[in-house]
Structure formats: C-alpha cells, structure tokens
Amino acid sequence: MLCPKCRQPLEDGAESYICCANASLQWRCAKCAKVSEGFALPYGLCPHCGGKLERITPRQIDDGATLDGIRKAFEIELGGQLFYLRAAADSTDPILKDLFDRFAAMEKEHMRTLQRRYHAKVPVSSAKFRFETAAIFAGVPMRPADPANLFRIAIGMEQRAASYFEQCAKAAKPASPEQQLYRELAAEEREHAVLLTTEYSQWKQGKPGLLGTDDTLQP
C-alpha cells in the first residue's frame, strides 16, 4: 500500500498514519527574530543565535503598513542584485567576478524566500543600474578603481537596510504584526551584512570564500 500523498510504501496492515512529506514550517527566534524554515531544527533552537524558536502560523499580510515593509524589503534585495550583477560584469578579476555572481544569486534566493514567506510576487528588475545609486544608499564613497570599495558598498547597503528596519520596528506599535515583520526583516539584513563581512575578510587574506556552500544560503 502506498501513501496517497507522497507515494511512499506503508507498512502492511497500517490503519492510520501521518504523512509529513514535503512539510515545511516557519519558526521565529524569540531572541534575534530571525525566521527559519524547516520541518524540524536541532533541539528546537535558532541555528543563528541559539534562541528559542516559536512556530509561526500562516499570516495574511493585507494592511498598508506591513505591505509597505515587504515592498521596501524587495526594493533593497532588487537593488542589491543589480549592484552585484553590474559589479560582476565590470570586474576584470576572475575571483571577484565569481564572488559577485554568487552574491547576485544570494539576493535572488533571498527574494524567493520573501516570496514564499509573505506570499508576494517577485517583481521584474530593470537592467539599468548605476553604481552611484548603491554607493549613496550605503553611505560609502564611490571609488571605481578600488575593488575593495565594492565590498564596502555591499556591506554598507546591508547594514543600512538593517538599521532602517530596526528603526521601523521601534516606531511600530509594540507586539503588533507590523513590528514583528520589521524585526524579522532587520534580522535578515544583519545576517547578510555578517556574511558579506566574512567574505570580505576571506578575500583580503586571499582565502576562498564561504558563500555558495550548502549551508550558507539556508533561510
């Protein structure tokens, strides 16, 4: 006898069963607000800070404030992806080119995560992009001849995005869905900034980067 859901064989004589095939749950860390996805996580703790995980029930995001927060998150991810694609295309260093290609893939995966988590459609990005736009957002001077400057801009973008969402969370009504959303988004951007800082350190030391390994892009 096969399970009608996942088509895996059932033990003979089984009268009742629970099928968990393809089940994926969302969990929010009570400490850092980072959202993780999966049927089960080690010891029920946040894989990022070790805080206690709380299961998130399906949410309906339909009020203006929370929609605005999600829209802003997509704007930041789209801008980051275009920045990395442009950096990869303009780079003459094969190592940097590969790094920025992977950074662009990282942002694409982040947008897929946002789409899955908040049931929002991934927008189509424009091919037109100027480095100066990212530099202004990051608050980092633009130095085209300095490859390290691209890293500093990338890190600055993520740090500024995290600060923006943190300020939005502080301004929101305590314990409201809007505040929780902004805390989640801030946690995502802080993680991105730490990841890019690590990649920058590896690059300066001439060591291989970590981005692209199986456990790096997990949501």
pLDDT value for 215: 40
Which DSSP state fits 207?
A: P
Residues 193 and 96 in one domain: yes
3-state per-residue secondary structure call for 41-66: CHHHECCCCCCEEEEECCCCCCCHHH
- Asked whether residue 88 falls in the same domain as residue 163, the answer is yes
Domain boundary among the residues 34, 56, 78 is at: 56
Q: Are residues 68 and 50 in the same domain?
A: no
pLDDT digits 0-9 by tens, 15-24? 555 555 555 6
The answer to whether residue 157 is domain-embedded is: yes
Task: Let me know whether 84 and 168 are in one domain.
Answer: yes
pLDDT of residue 58: 64
73 and 169 share one domain: yes
Low-confidence ranges of the chain (pLDDT < 70): 1-24, 58-65, 122-145, 210-219
Is 192 found in the same domain as 102?
yes
| Res 170: pLDDT | 92
What's the whole-model pTM score?
A: 0.66
Q: Answer whether residue 154 is part of any domain.
A: yes
CATH number at residue 47: 2.20.28
The answer to whether position 37 is within a domain reads: yes
Contacts of 49 (CB under 8 A, 6+ apart): 29, 31, 32, 34
pLDDT given at position 211: 66
Amino acid 213: pLDDT:
44
Host domain of residue 38:
25-56
- Give the per-residue pLDDT at 152: 85
| Alpha-carbon distances, residue 164 vs 21, 159, 186 (angstroms) | 38, 9, 8
**Is the domain of 196 the same as that of 142?**
yes
10 within a domain of the structure (yes/no): no
* CA within 13 Å, CB half, 17: 17
Express each pLDDT in 75-108 by its tens digit: 888 888 888 888 888 788 888 888 888 888 888 8
Q: How many residues does the chain have?
A: 219
Burial class (CB in 10 A: 0-12, 13-18, 19+), 179: buried
Q: Per the domain annotation, does 215 fall within a domain?
A: no
